Amino acid sequence: MLFEKVALVTGGCGDLGNAMALHLGRAGAHVVVWDLKTDDEAVEDVRCFLDEEGGAIMYQRVDVSDRTQVESALDDIMAQLGRLDIACVNAGIVEAQPFLEITQENWQKHLDVNLTGAFNTAQSVARKMVDSKTEGRIIFTSSWVGAIPWPEITPYTVSKAGLNMLMKQMARELAPYGVRVNAVAPGIVKAGLAGKQLETEPQYAARVARVIPLSEPGTPEEVAEAVVYLASPQAAYITGTVLTIDGGCSLFQFDKA
């Protein structure tokens, strides 16, 4: 389905990004993974290397909050692979702090990685796509909490709300070039950032048990399949959309009887 396409996944050593890389690879794409690990560490982490079904993978160590690194890595992709068709703008962080205790540093770090990092990646990718006349796909990883406040992660929720508007702005302005821009909004996934919170924050686990109408946390694979769909020819008429994969979390909450 995605044969001959080149797909970039930022934060691709993490749980959701890794599943995206694997599923895009299985759909036939050549996948480029960006993350903060050294090359050696990444080989351990990028489990797609080990999966015979996965497509070819290239790893680049890139901090998305550093514009120079982002642009230079993209130049390398164009030089080595000749094209870029799909970008999953997925790298992200969360560090919980109650609102009254949020430090300036915590606030700034979320904005630097989750929002400015996404802008750095998405704008640089979009320029390459437009320059090369590629009707590409840019897919952000937002979150259901980009629209619904969740306790103790204000800088994170604000960064994801900003990401949703960045996506919509880009969708509007890039439509004339045929570049489609969308977001997936996972709910609570028992992996990655939420997985760590489930393990380390008892109050988080207690809240989670109450708020998922479909009862179970999601999986990275469910998010990755949604990404593959948005990257596919079947989604060609979709742009400017947040595709929510949250087991109903963002519905109005009733107490479960």
Ligand X SMILES: NC(=O)c1ccc[n+]([C@@H]2O[C@H](COP(=O)([O-])OP(=O)(O)OC[C@H]3O[C@@H](n4cnc5c(N)ncnc54)[C@H](O)[C@@H]3O)[C@@H](O)[C@H]2O)c1
Using CB under 6 A, list all residues that contact ligand X.
10-11, 13-17, 34-36, 62-65, 90-93, 113, 117, 141, 143, 186, 188-189, 191-194
Q: Which bin fits 67, alpha (ψ -120 to 50), beta or left (φ > 0)?
A: alpha
Q: Measured between alpha carbons, how far is 201 from 206 in angstroms, rounded to an integer?
A: 9
For ligand X, the closer of residues 134 and 187 by Cβ is 187
Fill in the DSSP letter of residue 217.
-
Min separation Cβ 226 and ligand X, Å: 12
Count of other CB atoms within 10 angstroms of residue 10: 30
Q: Measured between alpha carbons, how far is 236 from 219 in angstroms, rounded to an integer?
A: 25
Q: Which of 59, 156, 204, 229 is catalytic?
A: 156
Helix H or strand E segment including 59: strand 57-61
Min separation Cβ 198 and ligand X, Å: 9
Min separation Cβ 17 and ligand X, Å: 6
For ligand X, the closer of residues 134 and 166 by Cβ is 166
For ligand X, the closer of residues 134 and 163 by Cβ is 163
CA 37-67-197 angle, 5° bins:
45
Count of other CB atoms within 10 angstroms of residue 26: 18
CA 108-113-115 angle, 5° bins:
85
For ligand X, the closer of residues 14 and 136 by Cβ is 14
For ligand X, the closer of residues 17 and 54 by Cβ is 17
Instruction: Tell me the sheet residues that pair with 34.
Output: 10, 60
Short-list 168, 176, 223, 172, CA closest to 195: 223
Cα-based distances in Å from 232 to 7, 148, 202? 12, 29, 39
Short-list 69, 65, 161, CA closest to 116: 65
Is 177 part of the annotated catalytic residue set?
no
Min separation Cβ 176 and ligand X, Å: 28
Min separation Cβ 99 and ligand X, Å: 19
Residues marked as catalytic: 156
